[in-house]
Structure 1
Amino acid sequence: MQIVNIHNAKTNLSRLVDRAAKGESFIIAKAGKPLVKVVPIDQPASSQARRVGFMAGQFSVPDDFDRMGGEEIEQLFGVNT
């Protein structure tokens, strides 16, 4: 595992963060003494990732969905049709 001094870490923070995000851990040291270990945040496995359409077929939307409650809304706002 690579050890980076704190001055170098400040200078190259962007590059180091990119490397850590790709899975490469490293240690930041001050005066040769290790201070912190930088590791990537665990990402969910592809099977755990959220996906579009995961509830497909589990419910249905009524045909009059866009008109539901229309009369009540008109009464609340004083609209006469």
Structure 2
Amino acid sequence: MEAAPQYDVHEVSAHFSEILELVAAGEEVIISKAGEPVAKVIPPKGKVRRTARGSLRGRITVADDVDELPEGRGEAFGAAE
């Protein structure tokens, strides 16, 4: 595994856009101050794509008895059984 490129804080402020492009392309970048690493910039994890209502239709199931409490549980919540 190749080490992440390291940039001094002054390099980061001078070349911020270019460094962000590296991260956007999937690279991790280490930011250092006086030669000591202080931060790691990593690309975000994959996005969850939910395009519209119902985008999870067919992927989630709900049991037919979802509204029924097991025996004795209703009393714990103050419901009559």
**What TM-score do the two structures reach when normalised by structure 1?**
0.55
CA radius of gyration, larger in: 1
1:9 aligns with 2:12: yes
Q: Give aligned-pair identity as a percent.
A: 29
- 3-state SS in 1 of match to 2:37: strand
Alignment of 1:1-80 (within 5 A): 1-44=4-47, 48-51=48-51
Taking only aligned residues, the RMSD between alpha carbons, in angstroms, comes to 1.8
**What TM-score do the two structures reach when normalised by structure 2?**
0.55
Give the gaps of 5 or more residues in structure 1.
Answer: 56-81
**Which structure has more helix as a fraction of its residues?**
1
Give the gaps of 5 or more residues in structure 2.
Answer: 56-81
Rounded Cα–Cα distance in structure 1 between residues aligned with 2:10 and 2:51: 42
Shift of 1:21: 1.2
Residue 49 of structure 2 aligns to which amino acid in structure 1?
A
The count of residues paired between Structure 1 and Structure 2 equals 52
